[in-house]
Amino acid sequence: MLITISNRLPVSVVRREQSLHFESSVGGLATGLAQYVKSEPSAWVGWPGIPLSRISDGERAGIRERLKQESCHPVFLTGYEVENFYYGFANRTIWPLFHYFPLHTTYNKTFWAVYEKVNAKFADAVAEILRPGDTVWVHDYHLLLLPEMIRRRRPEASIGFFLHIPFPSYELFRLLPWREEILRGLLGADLVGFHTESYGRHFLESVSAILGHETRPGKIRTGNRTVAVGAFPMGIDSKRFSSAGSLPRVRREVEKIEKRSLDRKIILSVDRLDYTKGIPQRIEAYDLFLERNPEWREKVTFILIAVPSRTAVPAYAQLKKSVDESIGRISGRFGTIGWVPIWYLYRALPFETLAAHYRAADVCLVTPLRDGMNLVAKEYLACRDEGDGVLVLSEMAGSAEELSGSILVNPNNTDEIAEAIKEALCLSPEEQVRRNGPMRRRIAGHTVVRWAGDFLRELSRSRKETKA
């Protein structure tokens, strides 16, 4: 059996008025694993998204039963745990530090204590269902201690771990007061996977410098075990995006967008509203572009989709305010009666509407200051029927390694982004198709299903090697 463990289950429980509702999310991870779920039994362990204080004991049992039908095993968390584990250690310590924002990083002992406690809760939940011969796959920065906690409970288990965010360079990682515990936590796995080779190298360097373990490329020796380390760049469900154009709802939405933009060129960006995504710098670059290229005013519309995220964390609330203000400034400065320079959508859109925006956009601006991978860049390229469209992509996104045919920019260099916007708008359709061809083939060949398969095969291979 494959046991997947992530902070959130693919099914969320929400309370609307008096009753509980179960909402499924079709995230990349769930899609990637779907193939294995079909061919062998599987289970998923995670938080169902509702704090314990919002459900009664009876409801808790009901949720457990109902989720079991979908092979999901809930780990219930109190409001206090959500506050300190999720909003605290995961999103105010690990997330900023691993994205090279040491000044946003909070080092708080309570956050850490609760993070350890919640990881132990997850380990207990896994131990309850884990049987000999099962494979465990732990995901992401919320559960860095889990591999070793499971190993302690089940020394023979086959355990893989995948980190969806960057692993920072040693100089950043060493700032963490709990750096040794985190590394030991990860070394409980048989295979630790990252999006890129360089994140893997950073990890090896930290393990060697902090724990003094013997390392060689792709391998760490710890006690009597060997831990494998590898790069597994995550892909997307490319068919879902490339075939979106055949959905009548998507076609209707594209027409609507084109009609409203009066056939102006469309620049698009899509991200969670997160300070790692470089949104203020991107807006500033657009402002510079309009200032320096008056001939483009009224001829282009920038659609900025920002999905609300972690609004309870202060840095996110501040970011929201500054983004609102800078969009207001640009509209005041350049807007006319018939033209709004930026359309700002602060909400999540249904898949069909998102796909329609990808299809309608002439240029997609993906300029994170740091990003583990960035799937939006891949989704945009996959969505374009004719193979046209221009991707402007940050060098600091993991996906830049695979998408070298895009216009690559330093996300802190607003002059360079402003230039790139102009270059993108002027690129001939033939040149667009020529640049995108190899990237589109790569995206179609390296899907999320292949990613999951590659990781799980490597996990089973490294287990056999260790045992031999």
Rounded-to-integer distance, Cα 25 and Cα 444, Å: 22
- Whether 164 sits among the annotated catalytic residues: the reply is yes
Instruction: Report the residue number, 134 or 237, with the smaller CB distance to ligand GDG.
Output: 237
Closest to ligand GDG by CB, 319 or 427: 319
Nearer to ligand GDG among residue 29 and residue 182 (C-beta) = 29
CB 333 within 8 A of CB 283: no
Q: Both tokens of residue 261?
A: 């933009």
Least CB distance to ligand GDG at residue 187 (A): 22
Helix (H) or strand (E) holding 5: strand 2-8
Q: 238-271 burial string, b = 16+ CB within 10 Å, else e?
A: bebbbebbeeeebeebbeebeeebeeeebbbbbb
Q: Which amino acid is at 155?
A: P
Amino acid at the residue 121: K
Side-chain-side CA neighbours of 365 within 13 Å: the count stands at 35
CA angle 308, 140, 232 (to 5 degrees): 110
Query: What is the nearest approach in angstroms of ligand GDG to the Cβ of residue 31?
Result: 10
Binding residues for ligand GDG, rule: CB under 6 A, are 28, 164-165, 234, 270, 272, 305, 307, 348-349, 351, 354, 371-376, 379
Single out the catalytic residue among 237, 271, 287, 371.
Answer: 371
Smallest distance, ligand GDG to C-beta of residue 139, A: 9
Interatomic CA distance for residues 292 and 283, integer angstroms? 14
Q: Catalytic pick from 73, 104, 164, 202?
A: 164
Give me 428's structure tokens.
């001939």
Of 77 and 165, which has the nearer Cβ to ligand GDG? 165
Whether 213 is a known active-site residue: answer: no
CB-nearer residue toward ligand GDG: 296 or 351: 351
Burial of residue 457, with CB atoms counted within 10 A of its CB: 0-12 exposed, 13-18 middle, 19 or more buried: exposed
Structure tokens at 133: 């011969």
Closest CA to 313 of 104, 20, 135: 104
Indicate the residue among 341 and 372 with the shorter CB distance to ligand GDG. 372
The residues assigned a catalytic role are 164, 371
